[in-house]
Chain A
Amino acid sequence: MIEVRNLNKRFGEKVVLNEVSGVFHQGKTNLIIGASGTGKSVLLKSMVGLIPPDSGLVAYDGRDFTNGSLETKQEIRREIGMLFQGSALFDSKNVEENVMFPLDMMTRMSREEKLERVNFCLKRVGLENVNRLMPSEISGGMQKRVGIARAIALNSRYLFCDEPNSGLDPQTAILIDSLIREITEEYNITTVVVTHDMNSVLEIGDHIMFMYKGEKVWEGSNKDILDTDVKSLQDFIFASKLIRDFKQNSF
């Protein structure tokens, strides 16, 4: 479980996060949604320590990450896996070396053990016989899957995904969503996904936090999001005529 309490962040005069609080549950796919520029990515980056918040705290299973000691932060960081928007694979390393990287840096496993773990992770995300390929030689969807394999290589307890579907075709996007959900349930990890893709919201949103102008304005699940009476959330969800029609037809 990850707890965020009264998180504030401003860049100059612009308030990006304003007293944001919330709990992200273990074994569930937690979504942070909202329009562009509402502070979703800043919230995610504050949670993983890439952007230090001005005030407030982030706690991982009761361990204070924001104000904790360097040792505590390092311990927590080793339990975090993250899938970046552009995959962020190391372009000087091949697929195998990318997935093996956290194992090289954080463990004292033998080469054989590491290779076994790499192959297991790659197989888990549906990739085989791609070990020697460079990131530039594989498709965007495959890069995302390699990114997920790298994120789970260390048996992460917390998985963060920053817009995992951006730049992918709808079919591949659904595959990535399904993979994230399967991994979350299978390993009982706490997954936090930043997205503005309504398909993802409806497909995998066990727990959803809606951000608007740097504030959390709604929290719930994909089962009750369509019934919301929050105006800003309605505007966000029903921006697409398709979803407006879907809602009208279902009632």
Chain B
Amino acid sequence: MGLMKSLGKYLLLLASLFRNRERFSVYVKLVIDEAVLIGIDSIFIVVIVSSFIGAVTAVQTAYNLVSPLVPVYIIGTIVRDMTILELAPTIISVVLAGKVGSNIAGGLGTMRITEQIDALEVMGINSASYLILPKIVASVITFPLLVIIAGFLSIYGGYLAGVFTGALTEKEYIYGIRNEFQPFNVTFAMIKALVFAFLISSISSYQGYYTRGGALEVGQSSTQAVTNSCIAVLCADYLLAQLLI
């Protein structure tokens, strides 16, 4: 019952984003500001995480390739497919759910308890639309870009780890990542990035926007935002895999 009520409230919040909107120019500036906060400020963590997961994937694949019948270039192929299909879009989204999601929920929760959202409402501004819509749009724009960066760096991390540990040569790795390449996998990764961006930004906004109480509840909202976003991302990951592959 509680879940259905929350789901209904979440859907009503999403519907309210498009009612009584402000001028288009207002949103342009807000989306740019949010894109900087959500996108640019997340590059560092994306670079670190993606480089290491690519490197670790290469090393562990090499470690498990004990049969002489399996060609070593397959390390490159595995790193590529794991990166594009799962590591870049899903793992990076889970990491971003922690960073971006808690930031969104904490920011909105603080605005709620300090009456800043009430101040917007009194002025006749649709606070949900003004505060949440730019965050969702900025996330939907920046997440795919971050996933592209993550994909590139993960494959490059795999290359560095594979070549420098002597698991395979540069030529073998390049051959491996070109081997039987399916362009649709990239489209699939982009679709996942878009869906995850929407889920993380909207769920975190919902948690923050409806915060009640004080500083303690803001912390709880942030935690709840991260937990719910991660669960939503993983459920959507499974559903998309079932539907699109």
Binding site for B on A (CB under 8 A): 45, 48-50, 70, 73-74, 77-78, 80, 82, 84-86, 88-91, 101-102, 104-106, 160
Closest A residue to B37 by beta carbon equals A92
A49 touches B116 (CB 8 A): no
B41 beta carbon closer than 8 Å to chain A: no
Q: A45 to B119: give the CA distance in the assembly, Å.
A: 11
Report the Cα distance A82→B124, complex, angstroms.
12
Evaluate contact between B115 and A88: CB separation under 8 angstroms.
yes
Shortest CB-to-CB span from A11 to chain B, Å, is 12
- B70 CB-CB contact with A under 8 Å: no
Output the nearest chain A residue to B23 by Cβ-Cβ distance. Answer: A105
C-alpha spacing A105/B116, complex, angstroms: 15
Q: Which residues of B contact A (CB under 8 A)?
A: 20, 22, 26, 110-111, 114-116, 118-119, 121-125
Q: Is the CB of A78 within 8 A of B124?
A: yes
Contact A86 B115 (CB under 8 A): yes
* CB closest residue in chain B, given A89: B116
9 closest pairs, A vs B, by CB? A77-B124, A88-B115, A88-B119, A84-B115, A82-B122, A74-B124, A88-B116, A48-B122, A50-B118
Partner of A105, one of B118, B121, B123: B123
Q: Which of A77, A86, A101 is in CB contact (< 8 Å) with B122?
A: A77
Known: A70-B20, A88-B114. A82 touches B125 (CB 8 A): no
Q: Which residues of A contact B121 (CB under 8 A)?
A: 49-50
- In the complex the two chains form, is A105's CB within 8 Å of B122's CB? no
B20 near A86: Cβ-Cβ < 8 Å: no
Residue of B at shortest CB range from A105?
B125
Give chain B residues whose Cβ lies under 8 Å from the Cβ of A78. Answer: 123-124
Are the C-beta atoms of B22 and A105 separated by less than 8 Å?
yes
Which B residues lie within 8 Å of A90 (CB)? 111, 116, 119
**A25→B121 CA distance, assembly (Å):** 24
Q: Are B124 and A50 in contact (CB-based, < 8 A)?
A: no
Bound together, the chains give a CA A45 to CA B114 distance in angstroms of 15
CB distance from A153 to the nearest CB of B (A): 10
B111 CB contacts on chain A under 8 angstroms: 90
Chain A residues within an 8 Å CB radius of B22: 105
Chain A residues closer than 8 Å to B125, beta-carbon distance: 105
A82 pairs with B116, CB closer than 8 A: no
- A91–B110 Cα gap in the complex (Å)? 10
User: What's the least CB distance linking B176 to chain A, in Å?
Assistant: 47
**B115 x A102 contact (CB < 8 A):** no
B115 touches A73 (CB 8 A): no
Q: How far is the CB of B63 from chain A (nearest CB, A)?
A: 48
How distant is B77 from chain A, measured CB to nearest CB, in Å? 47
Closest B residue to A77 by CB, please name it.
B124
CB <8 Å contact, B118 and A84: yes
**Contact: B118 with A73, CB < 8 Å?**
no
Asked if A91 meets B116 with Cβ closer than 8 Å, knowing A70-B20, A105-B26, the reply is yes
